[in-house]
Structure 1
């Protein structure tokens, strides 16, 4: 597992957990904006970014959770702030619940940590037999579409940013996790990841005593405002910031404001 580790080693750690089809590059602005005062750690899940991409690995939610737990324990992180987006929400919160004593704060961007209340058609298409595998793993359609469909910036993402997000996913074998993440979205209780998500959601109320910040792009077509509402039902005291014109890649859509909000939250919650 590759990870970025910047900032003073004795400073409070901020663990950044990405989703699909991004990688630690997604957090570059937060790393730059926080690493003067915090130890900023941004992981690449197995199969993603600069991590190994085994072809015979079980790319399931529980394994991703276990990988994060192993890293947290290996680095002996304490008083950690979890920052998570997309699949990173379920992965990061699953790790936090397992290692509760090592975490102190939560920041979430457009994510979920419960069985999916809806599956957008454009995601369902990516799961179709043959088409899904060829389209996602062969043609990289999921990641390529995301650099335009996941942002609400009027001019789209700058070309160098789009290129950076896509850079590690440059071949069939390097795109295996992109496809496997989509396949791991449970459509029914018969899928093994459904039970993992149910367990994570059942434990959310117990985390409500922690300082929690929810930052949401309200034009996200995947993790829609209903997902934010569901988190708020578990965490009524969470501090919520809504970007009415922000999309799924909210950290890309509002980088300067996001850095300011997270710094403010970390300082206030010390």
Structure 2
């Protein structure tokens, strides 16, 4: 399991979603490593981590992996920064080690059963055609570099970086598995796990929370934002009207400044 560990001080643990990797946090790592220990993980199957072809790519497994990394690095007073699937994974861990968590920053993410089914994702869940589309034709990570942006376009370098670990059928194994692990039905194997993550949010209600949201996100849209506000009514909220799902890419300066200011308040 690959991770970046740079700087010193209280740890800021950055957890990515699908189909990104720790590269997504590159500018934030550079900025905060001057004052904090910046740790950014690549989930198994993603980024520079190993990509086993037979593996339990489930929410429960990813949560266990992240918890294991935290234990192995001996992290405490952790500031979590979570995006996309990183929200369910990171918040699931946070509820288990809440005494070691100092703050939460949530970026266009979720931690509850999906309240709706975006057709673009639903179509890729078809058992055979969806798998072929994602793994053979890169129909998830590829389109995301355009569809997850709103304000601006990714630079050629950023596009290449985000797609670099996902160039072949074998390299896209986790990208496909994440899509299949979205628990739309009540009988899905990860449904109870995700419900438990949402139940665990109450135990984190006393933590400082910041919600940073690209308001042009068609997947984790304002329905998700408002649901987090219900769970964390005292949360700070930075809503960026013209940014998309890849809010760290689309509104880099506002996001980094918002996180730095928030971290400064916890000093």
Q: Which of the five TM-score ranges fits, normalised by the shorter chain?
A: over 0.9
Deviations 1:52-83 (A, max 9, x none): 00000010000000000000000000100010
Normalising to structure 1: TM-score of the pair? 0.98
Query: Which of 46, 49, 55 does residue 47 from structure 2 map onto?
Result: 49
Checking the alignment, whether the CA contact within 8 Å between 2:7 and 2:36 is kept in structure 1 is: yes
Q: Identify the residue that residue 5 of structure 1 maps to in structure 2.
A: 5
2:4 is paired with a residue whose SS is strand
Query: Does residue 1:246 correspond to 2:224, yes or no?
Result: no
Normalising to structure 2: TM-score of the pair? 0.99
1:203 is paired with a residue whose SS is helix
Q: Identify the residue that residue 187 of structure 2 maps to in structure 1.
A: 190
Query: Which of 62, 86, 103 does residue 84 from structure 2 map onto?
Result: 86
For the residues of structure 1 that align with 2:217 and 2:260, how far apart are their CA atoms? 24
For the residues of structure 2 that align with 1:89 and 1:142, how far apart are their CA atoms? 19
2:56 is paired with a residue whose SS is coil
Query: Does residue 1:208 correspond to 2:205, yes or no?
Result: yes
Checking the alignment, whether the CA contact within 8 Å between 2:105 and 2:210 is kept in structure 1 is: yes
1:19 is paired with a residue whose SS is coil
Query: Which of 74, 77, 99 does residue 76 from structure 1 map onto?
Result: 74
Deviations 1:15-55 (A, max 9, x none): 00000000000000100110001000000000000000000
Q: Identify the residue that residue 218 of structure 2 maps to in structure 1.
A: 221
Summarize the alignment of residues 23-172 of structure 1 with structure 2, pairs less than 5 Å apart: 23-154=21-152, 156-172=153-169
Judge which range, 241-250 or 96-105, deviates more.
96-105
Q: What is the deviation of 1:129?
A: 2.7
Q: What is the deviation of 1:110?
A: 0.2
2:140 is paired with a residue whose SS is helix
Task: Give the 4+ runs in structure 1 shifted more than 6 A.
Answer: none
Q: How many residues align?
A: 267
Deviations 1:210-260 (A, max 9, x none): 110000001100001000000000110000010010100000011111111
For the residues of structure 2 that align with 1:63 and 1:99, how far apart are their CA atoms? 17
For the residues of structure 1 that align with 2:140 and 2:110, how far apart are their CA atoms? 19
Query: Does residue 1:174 correspond to 2:174, yes or no?
Result: no
Q: What is the deviation of 1:167?
A: 0.1
For the residues of structure 1 that align with 2:262 and 2:47, how far apart are their CA atoms? 28
Segments of structure 1 that go 5 or more residues without pairing to the other structure are: none
1:129 is paired with a residue whose SS is coil
For the residues of structure 1 that align with 2:161 and 2:234, how far apart are their CA atoms? 36
C-alpha RMSD of matched pairs (Å): 0.7
Q: What is the deviation of 1:172?
A: 0.6
